[in-house]
Amino acid sequence: MGNAEKATELLKMINPIEHSKVFEACQKYKVEPYVITADIYGKGNLAGRGGWSWYTGSSGWYYNAGIEYVLGMKIENNILKIEPCIPKEWKEYTIRYNYNNTIYNITVKNQNEKNKIDENSILFLNNIEQKSKQVPLEDNSGIKNILVEM
């Protein structure tokens, strides 16, 4: 929905390590600090307690939300798109993506404190500016370097 601060706040809220930083939080959460739970109770004396740990569906959705909707790495029909929705204070991040035998090193620089790419954003593929903000995926055993300047 384009609200980067809310998206990262929710991901942080769901992250199990955030419920394990202090002893009191561990006592309330009561499940493993390294496993995504399917739910966290929100009412009464169970508020803050995790439930259904080791439920694989929730970890998959968490991963998907972080990669696709915050970091913005999306693949559709063998086309790689980088459409981040990040907090303005994030200055830079990197992703290393293996597509069969090809390595894609992706760097997103956010020196202008934006939440999303716009018409002024630039995408470079192997130091060559691209007209499109999309990169066709190739399986050629090479290394591709992508730089997005927001």
Of 5-9, 31-35, 70-74, least confident by mean pLDDT is 31-35
Instruction: Please name which of 48, 58, 74, 62 lies closest in space to residue 8, comparing C-alpha atoms.
Output: 62
Task: Give the pLDDT confidence of 80-130 residue by residue, as tens digits.
Answer: 999 999 999 999 999 999 999 999 999 999 999 999 999 999 999 999 999
Compute CA distances 25 → 16, 18, 30, 31, 45, whole Å: 10, 9, 8, 11, 13
CA distance 107 to 95: 7
Rounded (10°) CA dihedral 127, 132, 134, 138 = -60
Please report, rounded to a whole number, the percentage of residues in the chain having pLDDT higher than 70. 100
Domain 74-149 class in CATH:
mainly beta
pTM above 0.95, yes or no: no
The mean pLDDT value for 8-17 works out to 88
What does the domain layout of the chain look like in residue ranges?
4-58, 74-149
pLDDT at position 36, please?
Answer: 86
Q: Which burial class, exposed, middle or buried, applies to 96 when counting CB atoms under 10 A from its CB (0-12, 13-18, 19+)?
A: exposed
CA distance 136 to 39: 38
